[in-house]
Amino acid sequence: YLSVRDSFQALQASRSRSIQTLEQEIAAAQARMTNTSLDGASIIDVADNFGGVPYVRGVTTPRGFDCSGYVKFVYSQFGIALPHSVNGQARMGKIINPEDALPGDLVIMNDHSHDGIYAGNGMFYHAPLRGDKVKLAPIFTPNHYFVRLGIDG
């Protein structure tokens, strides 16, 4: 009995350390993004370089992108590690008022079904859907919000 109890306690302690480590890593990443000064124009330049890349679900490389894979890849070019999910990316920054949105901010659909990179003037770069390609397009729904990831105008 003691051996099983000791093993269980060791496992619980290990899990607790793992969760604590993950929480620390997330906090550190968020602090880096808050303290990192990104230039929106540079982000847009990189985002534009991948126009025409086909939509491929689950992919995060220039051979093909899904929406969050595209956002993840573009930001990785600036040393910003984002998760490969719209929901995860939405949580990495600060929600901002639409009138304060700058090129390079994230555009997140309210239902977290899609995201992209704001280009200004109601336009965004995104990987739309199967059969389509990464492109600059009007934000197609009023049901969206903006997230800032440490971008300077």
Active site (catalytic) residues: 67, 114, 126
Number of neighbouring beta carbons within 10 Å of residue 48: 15
CA 93 to mean position of chain CA atoms: 9
- Residue keyed to tokens 């949105």: 101
For residue 141, the cross-strand partners are none
* Packing angle, helices 67-76 and 40-48, rounded to 10: 120
